[in-house]
Amino acid sequence: MAKYIGLDVSMKETAVSIRCEGKRIWRGKCASDPKIIAQFVRKRAPGVERIVFETGPLSVWFWHALTAEGLPAICIDARHAAKALDMAPNKTDANDADGLAQLAEIGYFKQVRVKTFDSMLTRARVAARTRLVQITVELSNQIRGLMKTFGLVVPAGRGSVFEKNVRDLLADEASLARIILPLLESWRSLRQHVAELSRQLISEARQSQDCQILMSIPGVGSITATSFMAAIEDPANFRKSRSVGAWLGLTTRRYQSGEIDYDGHISRRGDKHLRGLLYEAAVTVLTRSQADSGLREWGLKLRERIGFKRAAVAVARKLAVIMHTMLKSGELFDPAIGATA
């Protein structure tokens, strides 16, 4: 008899529910450790058909660890599961595990493709660099704000120019320097870490032929290319290139009911950071790129009709489609046909 298991995973404990022939035969809790859960499954439900759990902070680790144990682990979309789990009268971990076990039994779930650890390492590196850049900007703004209070206006400038300007203004302000200089040292140290992470990303992009192909597009640099590859992993994961735009939340939502039928704002689903990088690349194509291409011409015509921001979103979606097409074909960017992808 086939058995089905639902796991409601939390940081310390995981609620477990086991179903067989439409009935719950056992439920309980165990430590949130895949090895312990694997031992538990072999004891309580040998020959299990499906083990279902939702996307979350531990889902990548759980899926890889349970799969390595030879168990049929399935990670499902938490947003999809939430609609079914909301049917329970009370929101508890045990009831959530029951609901997931029922979804596993009837097969009503949307399976999520779990990324490899290598892809997650790249994503973690990009995320760490992005956060450090944000902190350095916050620190520099804090320094400017504090000094402005005492009539010391730091001139425009970034990097070493900013540091020199701050130190020059503090030359005769010993009391204020004791407050500002520690912030400035922290700012400089963070910039060094940002530079190191940037070097790692550039090195990774140079060693990847796929990243080199993507970087042939104007406006697409090493960070955007490596982030795109980490998200897509294998072009074969998408049957159609235009599906990538929807997967990244760059297509409009549609609402249709009876006589009502309209398109709304973009869905903003998927990888938020990659979506932002593609938007920045689209802005570069529309404003700073000196290379003539069909994509740029198309975007500029669109800007005249619907405005800059909407045109940039459209170009970002088009970029996602083009990048996936290039990965499938292995060809460099062709400016002449950039807008027809």
Residue positions counted in the chain = 341
Encode pLDDT of 55-95 as tens digits. Answer: 999 999 999 999 999 999 999 999 888 888 888 888 899 99
Encode pLDDT of 154-201 as tens digits. Answer: 998 889 999 999 999 999 889 999 999 999 999 999 999 999 999 999
In CATH, what number does 3-106 get?
A: 3.30.420.40
pTM of the predicted model as reported, rounded to 2 decimal places: 0.84
Cβ neighbours of 54 (radius 10 Å)? 23
The Cα–Cα gap between 280 and 275 comes to 9
The Cα–Cα gap between 86 and 79 comes to 11
Q: Where are the domains of the chain?
A: 3-106, 117-207, 211-340
Q: Which of 38-42, 203-207, 255-259 has the lowest mean pLDDT?
A: 255-259
Q: Please state whether beta strands 73-76 and 252-257 pair in parallel, antiparallel, or not at all (unpaired).
A: unpaired
Token pair belonging to 267: 């869905």
The Cα–Cα gap between 272 and 316 comes to 13
